[in-house]
Amino acid sequence: MTHPPLSPVHGLNSLVAKILSGSSDRIDRLGIHRHESPLGSVWDFGVHAPGGLEAGVLLAEICLGGLGQVGLSTSQVEGLPFPEVWVRSDQPVRACLMSQYAGWAIQVDKYFAMGSGPMRAAYAGEKLFGELAPGQKDQSPDIVGVLETGQLPEEHVLSWIQKKIGESPKVHLLAASTKSLAGGVQIVARSLETAMHKLHEVHFPMDQIVSGWGTAPLPTPAKGTLDAIGRTNDAILYAGRVVLWVRTEDELIAELGPKVPSGASTMHGRPFGQILKEAGGDFYKVDPMLFSPAEVVFCNLASGRTFKFGHREPSILLRSCGMAGI
């Protein structure tokens, strides 16, 4: 007897809820603060809590829906030592697009945060879900989301998310600011996700992507949020590298591959903080073709050929980090 394939959103929240529960006994060591609520819980990874590198790795893996691994290694940027955040997944469509992508704007009264993580699959109200998983939602008694924010969510935010989902699950929100150490790690761990989203935008057949690996330097800390946004984006836009294993036609890779790296955008070549400032701080005024890694490599399992597109320009990252000329 054959069974129909599982929905691409199925089980994401249950898997991550188990990971989160299993981390409860080490939150003090990770510098995480947990606040219980009648509606669920709020986990502070880097708003008021100190967080750290390990907390950032945990936050990034939860953001991936438990379907990817994240780690830190060493690299050099223009001869200077930098930590490097790597990410890999054998289910990159589910991990990156159904979970990690920050596609849900959480706006409740005066509260605002960019929402990612598997709670997006329980809501499934974004255009992306209508395109990749039409009519499907993840159902779970526990919903887990990640918020990029400088303010911890209060009870009314959890209630708003419950109502949007249309059920009464326990809502567990993990929050970190962009300028925090943990927040920086989880953002830079999006090198693979930005490539996956760009591939979807250029109409690459997503079912022909087998596995993915990405890496980008962890930039130096920034004092303000806008500087942190600039540096973490520059890490991917100008120094990020992604390798994709696909099974498709070489001609398709040759046609679509040049559109994938960040260099396909006319805005490419300047620090992101400068670009965002000129756009009045409005992300929607920035060319969406910019948001992708500097370099993308396709390994075609069908033909045995490898294709490389784009190139890295790490000097721009150093400039945004205030390290040019060092």
pLDDT of residue 53: 97
Alpha helices in the chain (DSSP H): 12-22, 27-30, 53-63, 92, 119-123, 127-132, 155-165, 181-188, 191-201, 225-239, 250-256, 272-278, 314-320
Digit-coded pLDDT (tens) for 125-136:
999 999 999 999
pLDDT of residue 119: 98
DSSP codes of every residue in 226-295 = HHHHHHHHHHHHHH-EEEEEE-S-HHHHHHHGGGSSGGGSTTTTS-HHHHHHHTTT-GGGS-GGG-S-SE
What's 1-67+99-179's CATH class?
alpha beta
pLDDT of residue 324: 58
pLDDT of residue 76: 83
Residue 19: what residue type? I
Q: What is the pLDDT along the chain (326 residues), one digit of tens a residue?
A: 344 444 688 899 999 999 999 998 999 999 999 999 999 999 999 999 999 999 999 999 999 999 999 999 998 888 888 899 999 999 999 999 999 999 999 999 999 999 999 999 999 999 999 999 999 999 999 999 999 999 999 999 999 999 999 878 999 999 999 999 999 999 999 999 999 999 999 999 999 999 999 999 999 999 999 999 999 999 999 999 999 999 999 999 999 999 999 999 999 999 999 999 898 888 778 998 999 999 999 999 999 999 999 999 999 999 999 875 55
CATH number of the 190-326 domain: 3.30.1030.10
Closest CA to 257 of 302, 214, 299: 299
Backbone phi, psi, residue 308, to 5°: -120, 135
Q: What is the DSSP letter of 319?
A: H
Domain map (residue ranges) of the chain? 1-67+99-179, 190-326
pLDDT of residue 3: 40
